[in-house]
Amino acid sequence: MKRVTMADVAKAAGVSKSTVSQFLNKRYEHMGEETKEKIREAIERLGYHPNYIARSLKQKRTAMIGIIVANIMHSFSTEISRAIEDFCHEHDMHAIVCNADDDPVKERKYIEMLRARQVDGLILFPTGGNLELYKQMEQERYPVVFVDRKISEVNIRTIVVNNKEATYQAVAHLIEKGHRDIAIITPPLTIYPRIERMNGYKQALNDYRIPIKQEYMISTEIQRMISELSRLFALPDKPTALVAGNDLSFFEVMKFLKENGLRVPNNVAVVVFDNIPFASFSEPTMTTIAQPAYAMGKKAAELLLQQIHHHEELPDSNLYTFPCTLMIRESSSRALI
């Protein structure tokens, strides 16, 4: 398995390495037809394939970008990654996807690993736990785009959705269907979008003059959700509607309801913040707050490649907010009388 190099090709074709290099880079404007043919033949005969590692070393670019997602188990993450990959593909770039599991230590490790591998830029779902590192990249003008979470301490282009407004709209929808006992369940309020979603929930209740009850707001680890839900539904004034703060919370909710023989929407209405692949054909169909993940990923890739290729200055605003769509389906459509 000894690799054949450019030098081998050059020797076989009876020309110099530089000529072969020219040929490979399609810079054969003034190259003798006969020379080209010799090289072509030698490449074919030896089965030569260029070594991108060597090229990258010389050119100081790898044509690769890194993606560090918060949690690969969220379909939101995979959908965004897919969009980024598609965009990269169209621009002769490649993407390496890493999973930080919402852990700042892993995040740091991956940022360092990817930069050591000389990726040309980074798309990051920031945990928020590596401020100095973010700042360092900012001041080095290393190409970076943040997705899903705003980090106010740094000035880095960021793609987010209108978490607060979208949740507000969903809660308003439930209220208009007659619900007043509306609970919300999210993972711990450690990151920006979860806080914003919770704020949207509170704002809606406020605006509709419905008192906020602490016991209706659950923010806890996925593993503890089922037990918290038991507590919630043991209350004398149990909720008639439930907002799941993301897809993983929603799965826990569904497991809980199933186990306890609670029917949707008859016993409780459900709305979930996230795209659920089977929402449109589950029984019942599920009302979702759909994030435009594909468009967001595409935009992130676009912004990153812009930085990589044109070294552009940051515009005045570096926050790109995408609107969500409330997809009203059966799980929340039954009016409460």
Partner DNA sequence: TTGTATGCGTTATCAA
Partner DNA sequence: TTGATAACGCATACAA
Residues lying near a copy of itself in the complex (CB under 8 A) are found at 1, 3, 47, 49-54, 56-57, 60, 62, 64, 72, 78, 82, 85, 94, 96-99, 112-113, 115-118, 136, 140-142, 251, 254-255, 258, 277-278, 280-285
CA–CA separation, 99 and 86 (whole Å): 19
Minimum separation from the CB atom of position 262 to DNA (A): 59
- CB within 8 A of 185, min separation 6: which ones? 218, 219, 220, 225, 228, 229, 242, 243, 244, 245, 249, 252, 253
Query: Which of DNA, a copy of itself, none lies near 217, with the C-beta cut-off 5 to 8 A by kind?
Result: none
Select from 49-57, 124-132, 147-155, 249-257 the region that touches DNA (CB under 7 A).
Answer: 49-57
Minimum separation from the CB atom of position 312 to DNA (A): 22
Beta strands in the chain (DSSP E): 64-69, 94-99, 121-124, 144-147, 158-161, 182-186, 217-219, 241-244, 269-273, 287-290, 319-322, 325-327
Q: Which residue in 1, 26, 47, 60 binds DNA (CB under 7 A)? A: 60
CA–CA separation, 309 and 87 (whole Å): 14
Q: Which residues of 149-177 are buried (b: 16+ CB within 10 A; e: fewer)?
A: bbbeebebbbbbbbbbbbbbbbbbbbbeb
- CB within 8 A of 124, min separation 6: which ones? 67, 68, 107, 111, 144, 145, 146, 147
Query: Which of a copy of itself, DNA, none lies near 202, with the C-beta cut-off 5 to 8 A by kind?
Result: none
Minimum separation from the CB atom of position 90 to DNA (A): 22
The residue (of 30 and 311) whose beta carbon lies closer to DNA is 30
Query: Which of a copy of itself, DNA, none lies near 144, with the C-beta cut-off 5 to 8 A by kind?
Result: none
| Cα-based angle 248, 217, 167 (whole degrees, multiple of 5) | 65
Q: Is 213 in the site for DNA (CB under 7 A)?
A: no
Minimum separation from the CB atom of position 107 to DNA (A): 23
Q: Which residue in 55, 109, 177, 180 binds DNA (CB under 7 A)? A: 55
Q: Is 17 in the site for DNA (CB under 7 A)?
A: yes
Q: Is 3 in the site for DNA (CB under 7 A)?
A: yes
CA–CA separation, 120 and 60 (whole Å): 9
> Using an 8 Å Cβ cutoff, are 255 and 228 in contact?
no
Minimum separation from the CB atom of position 101 to a copy of itself (A): 11
Partner residues linked to 326 by β-bridges? 289
The residue (of 192 and 273) whose beta carbon lies closer to a copy of itself is 273
Q: Is 31 in the site for DNA (CB under 7 A)?
A: yes
CA–CA separation, 201 and 50 (whole Å): 56
Query: Which of a copy of itself, DNA, none lies near 7, with the C-beta cut-off 5 to 8 A by kind?
Result: DNA
Minimum separation from the CB atom of position 1 to DNA (A): 11
Minimum separation from the CB atom of position 223 to a copy of itself (A): 16
241 φ/ψ sector (left φ>0, alpha ψ -120 to 50, else beta): beta
**Residues interacting with DNA, by CB under 7 A?**
3, 5-7, 14-19, 21-22, 24-25, 30-32, 34-35, 50-51, 54-55, 57-60
